[in-house]
Structure 1
Amino acid sequence: MRINLKTAGLLAVASTLATTHLSAQTVNEVSPFAPESEYRTWSIGVNLGLVNQSNLIGFRRNFNKLEHNLGYAIYVKRQVLPGLGIQAEYFGGKVAGSNSNNSNTFETSIPWSAALSAHVTLANINWRHHQGIIKPYLNAGIGAMAFEPTATIGGTNTTQETRTEAFIPVGAGLKFAVSPDINIDLGYRLNAVNSPVVDGLSRRGQKDLFSYTHIGVEFAIGDKTKPSLANSNPVAGMRREYQAQYDELAAVKSALEAQQAENKKLSAEFAQLSSDLADDDGDGVANKFDKCPDTPEKTKVDGAGCPLPEAKAPVVQQVVVTEADRRVVDEAIQNLEFDTGKSTIRATSHASLNKVAALLIEKNFSLKLAGHTDNTGSLQTNLRLSKSRAEAVKAYLVSKGANPSRIEATGYGPNQPIATNATAEGRQQNRRVEFTLY
């Protein structure tokens, strides 16, 4: 096999480009029916391979002994559909052969050829991947080829002038997507030239053929944040989109079911409390907690149901919230966690909430609780979930002795975001309960 410096240099350049482009990139995902402007549609490629007179269809050759020479090609491709591209290619090389005893030989240089071909991707082998991994393809086209044949027949050497003829390239191969930008290309192409003298011999009615078996690399060009249309897999894209919609609906359904179960539980608890906390003397304190039953009607009583002493003028105290108080509240906010899609406070949050309850009891502060969510799910569901989470925090603080009349719980749903809802990190920041001391 003969290899010249020009084609060997092309191989070195291709290897360098492949190493340069294999760096990690972040490629945005797009919907399966996104417009063409959301994709990269242009690519360039370079390949090297073996040129000889073999063919897969059994056509007769004038020289039955093959010689393998190096060929090279450079092309630009415009992808018009995920499975169809239009490719403009430059090819050069040399084809040669001889008979079994080497008495007759030929060598034909191909300084250049140019062809326009349709490139058809047959399938993405793995349908579960959004970006195709292994892709068989076919291509066919038409072009013009310059060639200069030199033949030695019976010891007589003849060199013909350079000719330019039409030719038809037809090929098949496999492309392997090694990154969002790069495909490795293994291919075979049969070139049918509209001339009988490519091998230096002319036989009436016969057109010469030669093949090109190659390996190369193809680079997608353009905005690297966009996926390549040639690598896209519409089936996997639809599956991914439908799965995301299903997961979103399943999360909403789960939240609704959890809320309905919570409502039933609260209704049962309320019915039980109504039964247990009857007030026989009508002083506003349930018999269970009334230490002074039979209080005369309209007597003002304290929390234990006993008559209050004469009211004195209230002493107005100035409320001062210190930095230490704010740190207690900030710690509670940072540690506050709920079960997913529920208003149940996790046990890991109790310690910091206990400190807030102690602070409210000690300094008689008032507290506003504001529940917020991200925009996942319906507005009605998010408003209800944010309200119930704020109420859950209030109920916990009251259970630890805080005055319920000094705690206000409000839900705002997704209406007051502090970060973008377009990212998972932003949505996490928006799911919160804010504490305000005053």
Structure 2
Amino acid sequence: MKTTFTFRAMCIILALATPLITLAQTNTPAGSTTSAGIFNGTKDYKTFSIGVNGGLLAPVSPTGGSNDFTKWKASAGYGAYVKWQILHALGIRADYIGGKLKADNSKELGNGKMPDRPYESFETSLKWSAALSAVVNVATINWLYKQNFVQIYVSAGGGLAGYSPKITPTNGTEREYKPNGSIKELIIPVGAGLKFKLSDMVNLDLGYTIHFLDGDNLDGVNYGPDRDKYSYGYAGLEFSLGPTHKPQLTWNNPAKVMYDELAAQKAALQTELESSRSANARLSADVDKLLKDSDGDGVSDFFDKCPGTAQGSKVDGGGCDLPKDTTPRVTKVVQQITEDDRRLVREAIQNLEFETGKASIKPRSYPSLDRVAELLKTKGFSLKLAGHTDNVGTDAKNMVLSKDRAESVKQYLVSKGANPSRIEATGYGETQPIASNKTAAGRQKNRRVEFTLY
């Protein structure tokens, strides 16, 4: 009898669901696209939803029979929930369920005898049950089609149930199991279900949940070692919350979204490629026009003001013949640096002294510098001046001082007639010591300006 009742109830639920499933198939076109991206987070999706459902409550579980009575009965139940979809395959759901639970001892035991028990039946009013569960979409990606319209999910969580059992003794009168009020016990809901997408706003939800109780009070009888439990099979509608243009995250098919993104990128690249080819063709034509040189004088026809010049003629920027150069050529004599020249420079380095902490050259250094200036004037040599300091003072001040001293030597040589364009002055501060800065003699050697003649 119990099996027949369950079978009929499931047939009714499936009969009601059939037209909705058909609607889900027709309302989800295979080629539809969404602007939501695969790596953009959840901002492009609707993540919150509410659901209402109705179904059958029964004090039975496939994992452990029908509690403390031999024959369970199915009764109407109702429920509602709020869900937050964290990932496309994971959500958090807060459920509420209410209804009645019934059973009696009218079924024979396994030995073919009727049960000899003090209670005939019970009826429990499940005033409320509230639970928070994690919902995992087991199958979200449909590899046969780009769009999904059906999901398989499982759930598990924890919560509380408040209920009031009434028991009827054998040949007795129904009475409350606990007259002082409702019983509150911990529940562990574990469930599974199917969800069908009807539109971007509505889903059909078919599910079955077993509730394990932390006690043996549900049917008002403590019979056997197992704790009580009850199940809820339901059908309902889920409504997604948020802007209508956003898709539901729970139906997000990453493979399909990635496919659409790659297809859009390919189309954009193809358009850009065609545009680039057209632009390159126009640019090539313009370049050919600019580069064409009919008379071979090196000036394109577009800029040539004197077309037809003789082959090999030297022309100006306008393509016209240049005047003939009648100025006699002067051969530049390159002076060689002699050992005397190097000795003269070494003497200048040895005799070069500055005021302490300043870039001012002491007068006794002038004669040797005068000889260097005369050498630069007469032979046209170039000179590189490199200023150096010891490590006394800050790095920045030493860098400035070394540069100033090199510039001071340059200005003196220029004042004596040397070509300033042939003298380079550079400061290196304390970065290139030639002796230890730990002794006075070493620091004296490091305070120098090096002359490089070339």
TM-score by length of 2: 0.49
- Counterpart among 176, 179, 183 of residue 199 in structure 2: 179
Aligned match of 2:321 = none
Distance 1:151 1:65, change over 3 A: same
> Do the aligned partners of 1:41 and 1:228 also contact (CA within 8 Å) in 2?
yes
- Counterpart among 27, 51, 61 of residue 55 in structure 1: 61
Indicate whether 1:151 and 2:171 are aligned: no
Q: Name the SS for the 1:239 alignment partner.
A: helix
Aligned match of 2:130 = 114
- Counterpart among 46, 70, 78 of residue 76 in structure 2: 70
- Counterpart among 256, 261, 271 of residue 241 in structure 1: 261
Aligned match of 1:39 = 45
Q: For residue 177 of structure 2, what is the amino acid of its counterpart?
A: Q
Measured after TM superposition, the shift of residue 248 of structure 1 is 2.9
> Do the aligned partners of 1:50 and 1:214 also contact (CA within 8 Å) in 2?
yes
Matches within 5 A, 1:85-100: 85-100=91-106
> Do the aligned partners of 1:120 and 1:138 also contact (CA within 8 Å) in 2?
yes
Indicate whether 1:208 and 2:214 are aligned: no
Distance 1:130 1:226, change over 3 A: farther
Kindly provide the CA deviation profile for residues 79-136 of structure 1, in whole angstroms up to 9, marking residues without a partner as x: 1111111111111011101122697211111011111111111122524666531111
Matches within 5 A, 1:280-319: none
Measured after TM superposition, the shift of residue 31 of structure 1 is 0.9
Aligned match of 2:215 = 195
Distance 1:23 1:136, change over 3 A: closer
Measured after TM superposition, the shift of residue 36 of structure 1 is 1.9
Q: For residue 163 of structure 2, what is the amino acid of its counterpart?
A: F
Farther-moved stretch of structure 1 (48-57 vs 255-264): 255-264
Matches within 5 A, 1:248-263: 248-253=268-273
Q: Distance in 2 between matches of 1:36 and 1:129?
A: 23
Indicate whether 1:84 and 2:94 are aligned: no
Kindly provide the CA deviation profile for residues 116-170 of structure 1, in whole angstroms up to 9, marking residues without a partner as x: 1111111225246665311110111111101111112322333122211110111
Q: For residue 235 of structure 1, what is the amino acid of its counterpart?
A: A
Aligned match of 1:160 = 177
TM-score by length of 1: 0.51
> Do the aligned partners of 1:84 and 1:121 also contact (CA within 8 Å) in 2?
yes
Q: Distance in 2 between matches of 1:57 and 1:125?
A: 30
Structure 1 unaligned runs (5+)?
Answer: 2-18, 265-438
Aligned match of 1:424 = none
Kindly provide the CA deviation profile for residues 185-217 of structure 1, in whole angstroms up to 9, marking residues without a partner as x: 000000111111201111364210111000000
Q: For residue 108 of structure 1, what is the amino acid of its counterpart?
A: T
Aligned match of 1:133 = 149
Aligned match of 1:387 = none
Q: Distance in 1 between matches of 2:199 and 2:246?
A: 13
> Do the aligned partners of 1:128 and 1:236 also contact (CA within 8 Å) in 2?
no
Q: Distance in 2 between matches of 1:223 and 1:54?
A: 41
Structure 2 unaligned runs (5+)?
Answer: 6-22, 108-113, 285-454
Q: For residue 139 of structure 1, what is the amino acid of its counterpart?
A: S
Aligned match of 2:240 = 220
Kindly provide the CA deviation profile for residues 46-103 of structure 1, in whole angstroms up to 9, marking residues without a partner as x: 0000011332224463222221101111111111111111111111011101122697
Matches within 5 A, 1:351-370: none
Measured after TM superposition, the shift of residue 27 of structure 1 is 8.9
Farther-moved stretch of structure 1 (130-139 vs 115-124): 130-139
Calculate percent identity across the aligned residue pairs.
36
> Do the aligned partners of 2:46 and 2:249 also contact (CA within 8 Å) in 1?
yes
Kindly provide the CA deviation profile for residues 191-248 of structure 1, in whole angstroms up to 9, marking residues without a partner as x: 1111112011113642101110000000011222222212211221111101222233
Distance 1:27 1:44, change over 3 A: farther
Kindly provide the CA deviation profile for residues 13-44 of structure 1, in whole angstroms up to 9, marking residues without a partner as x: xxxxxx9xx999x9952111112222211100
Q: Distance in 2 between matches of 1:113 and 1:171?
A: 15
Q: Distance in 1 between matches of 2:224 and 2:194?
A: 36
Aligned residues: 248
Distance 1:61 1:185, change over 3 A: same
Q: For residue 247 of structure 1, what is the amino acid of its counterpart?
A: A
Q: Name the SS for the 1:38 alignment partner.
A: coil
> Do the aligned partners of 1:139 and 1:170 also contact (CA within 8 Å) in 2?
yes
Q: For residue 176 of structure 2, what is the amino acid of its counterpart?
A: T
> Do the aligned partners of 2:66 and 2:72 also contact (CA within 8 Å) in 1?
no
Q: Distance in 1 between matches of 2:275 and 2:145?
A: 31
> Do the aligned partners of 2:128 and 2:161 also contact (CA within 8 Å) in 1?
yes
- Counterpart among 120, 135, 138 of residue 104 in structure 1: 120
Q: Distance in 2 between matches of 1:169 and 1:46?
A: 17
Q: Distance in 1 between matches of 2:224 and 2:70?
A: 19
Higher Cα Rg: structure 1 or 2?
2
Distance 1:27 1:74, change over 3 A: farther
